[in-house]
Amino acid sequence: MTAVMPFTSIDLCHLLEERRMHELELLTDLTDEQLRGVAMRDAERPIWELGHVGWFQEYWILRHLDGADPSMVGSDALYDSAKMYTHERGELAFPSRSETLEYTSAILRRCVERLSSREPDPEETYSYLLSIFHEDMHSETLTFIRQTLGYSRPSLSTSRYDESLLAIDADFRFHDVDMPGGAFRLGANADTPFVFDNEKWGHMVEVEPFSISATTVTNAEFLEFVEAGGYGMKGLWGKRGRDWLRRSKAQCPRFWQKGSDGGWYRKDFDQLSPLEPFHPVVHVNWYEANAYCNWAHRRLPTEAEWEMAAGAIPTTRESGTNKPSFPWGNETPTPLTVNMDWTAMACVDVRALAAGDSAAGCRQMIGNVWEWTADTFEAYPGFVVDPYREYSEPSFGKKKVLRGGSWATRSLLIRNTWRNFYMPFRNNIYAGFRTCAVR
């Protein structure tokens, strides 16, 4: 089990309650029909999301720690995500809105009350943090479910962004950052606070010299690919990419539309907005990212290259031995350094937030959009599965790795070594990419 952060019972209870308040804010304005949603391959029904986070809390805190019985008959069959695929769950009959709220609220109260008279031991802290971070991940999922279903933008109490923080450097020029390569410690160190098993443990790798773009690919750059006919150039896509193209009939990113005026627009929740040229391209899958790279005579970075560009300290002999938690150092993320925590409620200009640059000079490696890498998700050497066995291991060899977090990711969750993973066809998540030069 991972070392855990020194959280008190008060800290854990506050985080549990704050996370649930945030989750409910993402759902409060939805009608009962919207909450039920529709069965889709790449989006859960919102009502399932709410029930699932309550079930997960009960499973890992009340049942795992205390041996309690399930409080709802049949809850495992409804809410255990390891039992069936998303589109299969979509056909189930779920409890009503009021029943789901009553179920999840009762579980939360019990989880808080059990810490009211004592401090948690390490096993308890692990289970509480696991539940808190799990709800963080599902809050982001709920956000892109709203996008996928075309619901309105949620109104959140955290969305009070100061536009003055987004000053754009007028002298910024798009460029590559040259990395010397060398020995690098990939993954989390053993003394790192709570991490999931797929980051364990840091191990030395040798990285060849490479050049990586200082920013993620923008809408304007990706539009050049679209208008050049990139979606019709079959040689760019590979066999599986071509299969996806044939099934999807895609001709542009999922939420893009060409207007009658000849301009390009992006569906932003339930609104059409003109395509922002200097914002990162988002909602593209791995196949689209890789095809763009082939067209542009570039490539996606490997995980090791991405993490080195985010966290290497040029002055250290073994780069990464004492690497920082974030590109800018070990200081807690703030709106000056990252676009996270729903504060801006959207992506921002890739030239913004210079205070968050890595030591190497790469911008927005944390926040704004998740970034696809070239690598398939695999275990690190010496991998040992955590108590939450269903998190990483079933996805090894099947999914592609993303790094960095998005505007809808909680900053308490993220760090340079964090590994996200999705199937390569997924194009409704907040994902973009940056590229490397081909040498």
**What are the structural domains of the chain?**
9-149 (1.20.120.450), 160-439 (3.90.1580.10)
- On average, the pLDDT of the chain sits at 93
Report the C-alpha gap between 168 and 158 in whole angstroms.
23
Rg of the chain taking only CA atoms, in angstroms: 22
Q: Would the CA dihedral through 337, 340, 342, 348 be positive or negative? A: positive
Q: Residues 165-200: pLDDT tens digits?
A: 778 887 899 999 999 999 999 999 888 778 999 999
Position 439 pLDDT exceeds 90: no
| 364-376 mean pLDDT | 98
pLDDT level of residue 84 (50, 70, 90 thresholds): confident
By CB atoms closer than 10 A (0-12, 13-18, 19+), residue 350 is buried
What's the pLDDT score for residue 192? 79
Helix (H, G, I), strand (E, B) or coil at 22: helix
Position 289 pLDDT exceeds 50: yes
C-alpha distances (whole Å) from 52 to each of 49, 70, 101, 137, 220 are 5, 13, 11, 12, 39
**Per-residue exposure over 277-312, b if at least 16 CB sit within 10 Å of its own CB, e if not:** ebbbbbbbbbbbbbbbbbbbebbbbbbbbbbbbbbb
Residue 281 C-alpha from the chain's centroid: 15
Token output for 269: 């929740």
pLDDT level of residue 317 (50, 70, 90 thresholds): very low
Contacts of 125 (CB under 8 A, 6+ apart): 4, 5, 7, 12
Select from 368, 305, 372 the least CA-distant residue to 340.
368
Kindly report the number of other CB atoms within 10 A of residue 387's CB atom. 14
In this structure, are residues 109 and 73 in contact, taking their beta carbons and an 8 Å threshold? Answer: no
pLDDT level of residue 343 (50, 70, 90 thresholds): confident
Q: Which of 71-80, 159-168, 322-331, 390-399 bottoms out in mean pLDDT, i.e. has the lowest?
A: 159-168
In this structure, are residues 284 and 222 in contact, taking their beta carbons and an 8 Å threshold? Answer: yes
What's the pLDDT score for residue 156? 80
Q: Where are the beta strands (DSSP E) in 79-180?
A: 176-179
Report the C-alpha gap between 429 and 56 in whole angstroms.
22
Helix axes 122-149, 9-25, angle to 10 degrees: 10
Q: Residues 9-30: pLDDT tens digits?
A: 999 999 999 999 999 999 999 9
What's the pLDDT score for residue 353? 94
| 122-145 mean pLDDT | 96
What's the pLDDT score for residue 4? 54
| 81-106 mean pLDDT | 87
Partners of 421 in the beta sheet? Answer: 401
Position 143 pLDDT exceeds 70: yes
Report the C-alpha gap between 317 and 321 in whole angstroms.
8
What's the pLDDT score for residue 159? 61
Residue linked to tokens 């269903």: 390
What's the pLDDT score for residue 330? 93
Kindly report the number of other CB atoms within 10 A of residue 394's CB atom. 11
Partners of 205 in the beta sheet? Answer: 184
Position 127 pLDDT exceeds 50: yes
| Residue % of the chain over a pLDDT of 90 | 85
What's the pLDDT score for residue 158? 64
Report the C-alpha gap between 343 and 92 in whole angstroms.
34
